[in-house]
Structure 1
């Protein structure tokens, strides 16, 4: 597939295509939609189709940050024994969800994951100096 004119990140492997980009602004939404339209047009011209039932939208790290905020607001204790199990059970699964699919290979994606992890470290009493 030619990726000419595609604004967002396009990754291909065998018969899988992954389009990724930031959609936190109207410009980001527009870029994703334009690229989806271009991919659909390419598929039609080449007598191919995308399996829309397999299409997924992944919201990376935002939900993890929200849950982390809830933990911070609702837990009086900042001990490792309290925060770490909550992080492991409630936050980490959101960071690991479909990681094989979106594969955080770009620096901005890795930075996003590390930002959530640093925020969790700062919540644990005694671990603040370790998180920079």
Structure 2
């Protein structure tokens, strides 16, 4: 914060917490965020502030923002990508496929023509983006995530 970083709507704080010093460093950063907010006459929405503990063997420390304890969450959606504590992207794959299938069915119901010239551009424009959004990040790794059954 001392380096002049400005915070926007989605503030994230992360660090390695395998020792008590790591836990204390995160807490100091949270205290600094709270001081920054007070100095700038702003408030964090405590209801939206969550702790996501990542990795196996995580000690799952508790943290405060201001005077209140932050809630722990098993998964959080960030920029449309669902991240869970095990960094398993299977649920993200299922949700993306469900959304794409829903749009595909809507196209199928609403279009009188079944010609390739009509359906292909619609699917490319409306379905494909849901399957490709941030795929570099959540990259499906299991065959169950790649071959989702269509309905």
TM range (shorter): 0.3 to 0.5
| Normalised TM-score (structure 2) | 0.41
TM-score, normalization by structure 1:
0.46
- Structure 1 or 2, whichever has the larger Rg, is 2
